[in-house]
Chains A and B, each alone.
Chain A
Amino acid sequence: MRNTFPRGGIHPPDGKELTSAQATQKLPAPQLLYLPLGQHLGAPSQSIVERGQQVLLGEKIAESGGKVGVPVHASVSGVVKDFTTTTMPNGTKSLTVVLENDGKDTPAPPLRRPQREPEEIAPEEIVDFMEEAGLVGMGGAAFPTHVKYRLPEGTKIDTLIVNGAECEPFLTCDHRLMLEDTDDLILGIRLMMRASGATRAIVGIEENKPDAIALLEERFAGLPQVEVKKVKLKYPQGEERLLIKAATGREVAPDELPSKAGVIVNNVATVAALGQAFRTGMPLIERVVTVTGPGVEKPGNWRVRLGTPVEELLGAAAWRGTTTLLAGGPMTAPAIFDLKTPVTKATSGLVALDEKTQQAGPCIRCGRCVQACPFGRMPLYFGPYLEQGRLDELEDMGLLHCRECGCCSYVCPAHRPILQTIRLAKARIRNRTREV
């Protein structure tokens, strides 16, 4: 049997052929960059620069805003032009530092880091470095990486899982990264194993990326504790818990963290970013973004400075002007409505497509959503129960533990907005919990 999760899942058209064979290109840094202070989960960063101040490439411009937080760094050299509010990919607003690029890319002094082999560095030093480098989960969650590695007392991690599944249709940035930044990926794996205490690392890759699997298998030949696990092509194979199940066979209880099962999971982009930052001393100032979809004439992967407005990417990819622009993979990403929305640390893609929305019909209880749910939930009940205000029963049905993969909405022949209902219900339950 091939490695995968046991139930549910879907096979959406993947559209990866548009970009998977193209080498990543560098997008020139634009004139103006917008660096949001709230581009990660947790406390927004606190600006430490003033209007008109000169900054260097990689210089810290905002301090971490709290325990769950990271600093933000200048992604070009130039001048702090302004402070403003920008629209984030998910539609919220964030205070933003506007940088005017001087075009010189004069670098700041590199981040301090021990010049030793990863295996000889104290784990805390690596974790502190993750924080200093501004590292967050680049697969989409934007959760500060160092927080994940500051493990509670008594937690023992034995396995690092590197998420290279990239199950979202259309996206190929992680695929290209595995092919092109293999050295940084390996360095990142060694650092993260050291930081977590894991004795082995498993890179989970969906079987539709045979070149990446072959390359990494070859490169891991000298690293007996690191292995590639080919996982079945099935959405949402890259979901954290499902990948843990596929890679290790372990199940994480719905209300527990993966660390409880001795596992820590990071996206390949995050791992490679750590390797790159450690090698160069340059904090996180850029990332690879897949710009693709039927709505662009020149789809491809671009290495983009953080804070670049998406309109720059659309220009490079020759956008045709579609009805919908998505800041990430089409199954889970929010649609954006502002072309000035900046690329953030968690922006994995920009997908342009024309969306035809269908009027929702009545639920005919066909059970497709039940079959598709990888977590064995009963999505058809969520809508009616929410309408009837039966929040306790929704909780009993495990609604809060829904991972929002969207399989239910994808298969629904009545086109009911099930995932949206779930999000609404979660918010209602949480608000009620707060009121009590």
Chain B
Amino acid sequence: MDKLKVTPPPHLHSGDQIRFVMRDVLVALIPACLAAIYFFGWRALLMLAVGTGSAVFWEWLLVSKEKKTIGDLSAAVTGMLLTLVLPPSLPLWLIPIGTLIAIGLGKLIFGGLGYNPFNPALIGRAALMASWPAAMTSWFWPKGASLPLENFNALTTATPLVLAKYRGFQVGYSQLFWGNVAGSLGETSAFAILLGAAYLIIKRRIDLRIPLSYLATVFILMAIWGRDPVFHLLAGGLLLGAFFMATDYVTTPVTPRGRIVFGIGCGILTVLIRLFGGYPEGVNYSILLMNALSPLLERWTMPVPGRRSSRA
């Protein structure tokens, strides 16, 4: 008989692929990577290479030969994101350990991409934070960063959030915006993060519901509490977390209303941790905690359009 292929409709496809989604995220992270290299030197590039490379390696090693999944680029995204939330002085050998936990325990153990309940990069960071707290909280200021403060040298290991929380000193907006401050590799430059976020928005890769409700919640609560809301938006890991971590498809609700609730929840937790918690920063744990609530949020906000057909 005729050699015709029979496939189910639709016979047209948008042409989109998972690896294109991941590729766009990688592209969107380029400004943050460049900012990291600019402010923290070539060591940042080395860290990014080790982080991204080791994540891909672990994925390659741990997935069976028939199902190699490194081509979907999700491991590269996880590795790069994890590295961007690490302090620039972190010993290099800790990075592959972080990525192994992120890829292995954060994702593959649940069945791989699409099945992980928590954001793998944040799992990796949380594990490093719990295991090597000193290394994970030692910071340095970029060369030439100005800090109009007495005994500046004694404070060179503090991030703007630490200074604000324990010293009552606030770094200026413009310095925070450009990123000329101490902090995790990719978190310091609001400018670079927003540039990347704009790319994701233009490419329609992220839904603004989560980042906007997240940022708005932090802004409003900080203002109510009498803190400088703009400072709290710009400082720490909030912007990177809101645009790149809290928008992870797999670990956040898919319903529009669920996404808004998710963002608000992240915002409340971040504010609580920043104001009352033991840490100066709370983005990481806020998002992880909300990841855990995500299935429930989705269930609660599910549209109920259909009626069950009457059965005899």
Q: Which residues of A contact B (CB under 8 A)?
A: 10, 12-13, 91, 169, 254-255, 323-326, 330-339, 351, 353, 355, 357-358, 361-368, 370, 375-378, 380, 392, 395-401, 406, 409-415, 417, 419-420, 423, 433, 436
Q: Check A376/B14 contact, CB under 8 A, given A335-B4, A335-B5.
A: no
* Contact sample, A vs B, 15 pairs, CB 8 Å cutoff: A324-B4, A330-B9, A330-B10, A330-B12, A332-B10, A335-B8, A365-B114, A370-B255, A376-B303, A378-B254, A395-B308, A406-B9, A409-B13, A410-B10, A417-B8
Q: Does B150 contact A (CB under 8 A)?
A: no
Are B254's CB and A331's CB within 8 A?
no
Measured between beta carbons, the chain A residues less than 8 angstroms from B4 are: 323-325, 335-337, 339
Measured between beta carbons, the chain B residues less than 8 angstroms from A423 are: 8
Most central of B6, B12, B113, B255 by chain A CB within 10 Å: B12
Alpha-carbon gap, A401 to B114, bound state (A): 27
Alpha-carbon gap, A400 to B310, bound state (A): 12
Measured between beta carbons, the chain A residues less than 8 angstroms from B155 are: none
Measured between beta carbons, the chain B residues less than 8 angstroms from A413 are: 14, 16-18, 20-21
Measured between beta carbons, the chain B residues less than 8 angstroms from A326 are: 9, 11
Q: Does B7 contact A (CB under 8 A)?
A: yes
Are A254's CB and B306's CB within 8 A?
yes
Q: Does B300 contact A (CB under 8 A)?
A: no
Q: Does B224 contact A (CB under 8 A)?
A: no
Closest 6 pairs (CB-CB, A-B): A398-B306, A406-B10, A362-B114, A420-B8, A413-B16, A367-B254
Measured between beta carbons, the chain A residues less than 8 angstroms from B97 are: none
- Closest-CB distance, A384 to chain B (whole angstroms): 10
Q: Which applies to chain B's interface (DSSP): helix, strand, loop or mixed?
A: loop
Q: Which of A325, A333, A363, A380 contacts B9 (CB 8 A)?
A: A333
Are A358's CB and B18's CB within 8 A?
no
Measured between beta carbons, the chain B residues less than 8 angstroms from A335 are: 4-9, 11
The 0/1 profile, CB within 8 Å of A marked 1, for residues 257-285 of chain B is 00000000000000000000000000000
The 0/1 profile, CB within 8 Å of A marked 1, for residues 42-85 of chain B is 00000000000000000000000000000010000000000000
Measured between beta carbons, the chain B residues less than 8 angstroms from A169 are: 12
Alpha-carbon gap, A396 to B5, bound state (A): 35
Most central of A338, A413, A436 by chain B CB within 10 Å: A413
The 0/1 profile, CB within 8 Å of A marked 1, for residues 93-135 of chain B is 0000000000000000000111100000000000000000000
Chain B interface size, as a band, is 35 or more
Are B7's CB and A355's CB within 8 A?
yes
Measured between beta carbons, the chain A residues less than 8 angstroms from B169 are: none
Alpha-carbon gap, A417 to B7, bound state (A): 10
Alpha-carbon gap, A365 to B291, bound state (A): 13
Q: Check A355/B11 contact, CB under 8 A, given A364-B113, A413-B17, A413-B21.
A: yes
Alpha-carbon gap, A268 to B304, bound state (A): 34
Measured between beta carbons, the chain A residues less than 8 angstroms from B303 are: 376-378
Q: Which of B20, B112, B306 contacts A396 (CB 8 A)?
A: B306
Q: Does B216 contact A (CB under 8 A)?
A: no
Q: Does B250 contact A (CB under 8 A)?
A: yes
Are A436's CB and B16's CB within 8 A?
no
- Closest-CB distance, B312 to chain A (whole angstroms): 7
Q: Does B249 contact A (CB under 8 A)?
A: yes
Alpha-carbon gap, A406 to B4, bound state (A): 22
5 more A-B residue pairs beyond the given contacts A324-B4, A363-B114, with a C-beta to C-beta distance below 8 A: A398-B305, A401-B305, A411-B14, A423-B8, A433-B311
Are A337's CB and B249's CB within 8 A?
no
Q: Which of B2, B12, B72 contacts A410 (CB 8 A)?
A: B12
Are A380's CB and B254's CB within 8 A?
yes
Q: Check A331/B250 contact, CB under 8 A, given A375-B305, A413-B17.
A: no
Q: Does B153 contact A (CB under 8 A)?
A: no
In the complex, the chain A residue whose C-beta lies closest to that of B11 is A330
Q: Does B1 contact A (CB under 8 A)?
A: yes
Q: Does B151 contact A (CB under 8 A)?
A: no
Measured between beta carbons, the chain B residues less than 8 angstroms from A366 are: 21, 249, 254
Measured between beta carbons, the chain B residues less than 8 angstroms from A433 are: 309, 311-312
- Closest-CB distance, A124 to chain B (whole angstroms): 31
Q: Check A415/B17 contact, CB under 8 A, given A335-B6, A362-B112.
A: yes
